[in-house]
Amino acid sequence: MYACKKLDKKRLKKKGGEKMALLEKKILEKVNSLFLVNLAYAFDTTTHLCLVMSLMNGGDLKYHIYHIGDIGIEMERVIHYTAQIITGILHLHAMDIVYRDMKPENVLLDSQGQCRLSDLGLAVELPNGKTITQKESLLKWDFSEDDEKAGTKGYMAPEILKQEPYRTSVDWWALGCSIYEMVAGRLPFRDHKEKVTKEEIVRRTLEDECKFEHKKFDAPSKDIINLFLKKNVEDRLGCKDDPRKHEFFKSISIPRLEAGLIAPPWVPKPNVVYAKDTGDIRDFSEVKGVEFDANDEKFFKEFSTGAVPIPWQQEMIDSGLFDELNDPNRKKGGVDDDDEQKSKSCTLL
């Protein structure tokens, strides 16, 4: 079972998002982690670009924070999810990829209760120590809540707001905000559903200190959040050392976590849909006045090249299909169309 992410071609062209969509697809082809949503295949239809990806039917963490029981998530779950999130972020950083959109809404749970980072649409590759500034990363369609910045209001690091060069530091700041939100049901510098101007959020982020008024915060959670929310990049947790060495994770064996051997503290019920009612989902109207040309067709062709993702290759090996189709003693002749197609697919390996 897989999920299919569909990008409307006309809407994509109208918003100038072609480069970003192609970048997301190429990054997804490269990554291979238990803690990232992985790409299985890419294709297009007459109206949409489609990414076939890991099925995550346990809902996103934002839904679990605000729509299941009391606001917030139990500390045991917060610790487990944060360790998995960090492992996913470290996988990206090891490949010189900056996530740039860390927030609970982009962390999805699978049917077993394990979480993965999703939506790499804002991710960017920064090889060889390269940095990026806000002006360089401006894309008119990637702003969340009308922000003219890469990221989402309330999770953006000071260096983004000040338009300073940055690398991976922005992901650790956003993670600090996300941990705070998982515990308290609000952001450190913005209350849930609070009506506040962008200018005020910027001021709070740059000037205010994080306050811990919620009774659910304990000493380790306060400390790790404070370390992630250091306004000076050089002092921020994650920019030098592995954050999973912090006392906050003393109850978790990191090697077992990396191997996927730790049972999650919470498992979704198979008969429950962990998402908003479909009636609450905004219905996009048809995009009019957009016509495709030769450049568009070239882009669609470049996007819809299928994929030979690492997890799929491993699946072919584990299932024995690769060995079967490449066995020199395999019976010749009488190969049906299906077997022939499988053989062609496996030669890509």
Q: Which residue range forms the structural domain that includes residue 243?
A: 56-275
Do 213 and 91 share a structural domain? yes
| Same domain (yes/no): 299, 242 | no
Same domain, 285 and 253: no
- Domain end call among 275, 290, 319: 275
Q: What pLDDT is stored for residue 129 in this prediction?
A: 86
Q: What is the mean pLDDT of each run of 10 residues along the chain (349 residues)?
A: 94 93 91 93 95 94 96 97 98 96 97 96 91 66 42 92 95 98 97 92 96 94 98 96 97 97 96 76 72 96 85 83 85 55 50
Q: Which residues pair with 54 in a beta bridge?
A: 2
Q: What pTM was computed for the model? A: 0.86
SS3 2: strand
CATH of the domain at 158: 1.10.510.10
Give the per-residue pLDDT at 288. Answer: 87
Spatial separation of the C-alpha atoms in residues 313 and 143, rounded to whole Å = 35
Residues 288 and 346 in one domain: no
Counted domains in the chain: 3
H or E stretch covering 315: helix 310-319
- Whether residue 206 sits in one domain with residue 102: yes
Number of other residues whose CB lies within 10 A of the CB of residue 208: 11
In terms of domains, do 123 and 21 share one? Answer: no
Residues designated as active site: 101
149 shares its domain with 188:
yes
Please tell me whether residues 178 and 248 are part of one structural domain.
yes
Q: Quick one: 243 exposed, middle or buried, by C-beta within 10 A (0-12, 13-18, 19+)? A: buried
Q: Are residues 257 and 118 in the same domain?
A: yes
